[in-house]
Structure 1
């Protein structure tokens, strides 16, 4: 199965089982196809993460890690304590083969994460939220806030064309976190005709001290 980036723009599959089937089907060719299309989000993400998280031994959770492209870039920058989580078992197989995660977990982001409260120093989520409406994003970010430590970072990307005032209102309404920064728009792909006018922004959130327990 080939990657259809036009479909990603116009026919976004939000049901977990559909997402799982889609990514299982493209897992084997995913890296090569994205490279051919000039995919850039993983490199932007790793550069941003490295600038906000100086301790390369920090416990990171990459939610929606896919085939491990972000993890691979993080490893190049010295991060050595990254756990990957994704809904696609076949994508996780590709991620495991890269040897950049201390472990991977197959899990649906819409369900409670199989991790203890405050178990991570930071959460990373790249190229995932276009699959979800703001209500589901709120639930996921709330769960991020549960498993990250106080003053820990939550860093996620979102497509510029999908960022609305409703998203900001939802994030502002999550008591446990505050928005530290929203980056300027960055190119998503450099050589894909369907994404030539689509940028992404990264949100950097911080968990407040004394946040209420879940």
Structure 2
């Protein structure tokens, strides 16, 4: 069953202890990722477009899908009138699938938490789902996302409940706010990231304006 396979795959990515192990887990999952996460009712790649559309006019860009995976968000944004969408991911296999969707203007291999291959203030908005979660990108990765977002732009992303406190996200939020690098515009309540499976997996979406 896709449901059982998806849960097993989630376990493998959540328990990866190194970036290399995480990349390997996603390489092995890439071919069946879409169907298996769909079986769990994974809504984040589609739901994030609601926050992007709420805060970013379709005439403005470019956009960055940070941790784009197989590129599920790209076609939805393209359908809403957004162009010039870039993507980054740590997995070559995931990026290959994302590229096949014909929704991204550029795709680059990079990992959140390390340096990103774009200049300061390059993007109108950076958005990310399912990346600030168990065993994945650290809260410190937000610094680079802010750096590559232009003043007046937005950083829109989800954080998993289990890492919000333990991962020090509030401390990074406060640090960037004190440095006058961003301000909080909106935050959602905690909600399920899988509409069908794993009812205890909760996330919150944050929207910051970069200053």
- Shorter-chain TM-score: what band? 0.7 to 0.9
Mapped pair 1:161 → 2:165: no
SS at structure 2 position matched to 1:100 = coil
CA spacing shift, 1:158–1:114, aligned 2, 3 Å:
same
Unaligned runs of 5+ in 1: 209-214
CA spacing shift, 1:6–1:66, aligned 2, 3 Å:
closer
SS at structure 1 position matched to 2:184 = strand
Query: What is the TM-score normalised by the length of structure 2?
Result: 0.88
CA separation in 1, counterparts of 2:51 and 2:126? 13
CA contact (8 A) 2:9 2:29 kept: no
Mapped pair 1:96 → 2:92: no
Count of residue pairs brought into register by the alignment:
203
Equivalence for 1:147:
148
Equivalence for 2:81:
78
CA separation in 1, counterparts of 2:210 and 2:44? 24
Unaligned runs of 5+ in 2: none
Alpha-carbon distance, 1:131 to partner: 4.0
Query: What is the TM-score normalised by the length of structure 1?
Result: 0.87
Equivalence for 2:183:
178
Root-mean-square deviation (CA, aligned residues, Å) is 2.1
Alpha-carbon distance, 1:83 to partner: 0.2
CA separation in 2, counterparts of 1:189 and 1:199? 8
CA contact (8 A) 1:172 1:178 kept: no
Give the one of 44, 49, 58 matched to 1:55: 58
Mapped pair 1:206 → 2:183: no
Decide which moves more: 152-161 or 81-90: 152-161
Off by >6 Å, runs of 4+ in structure 1: none
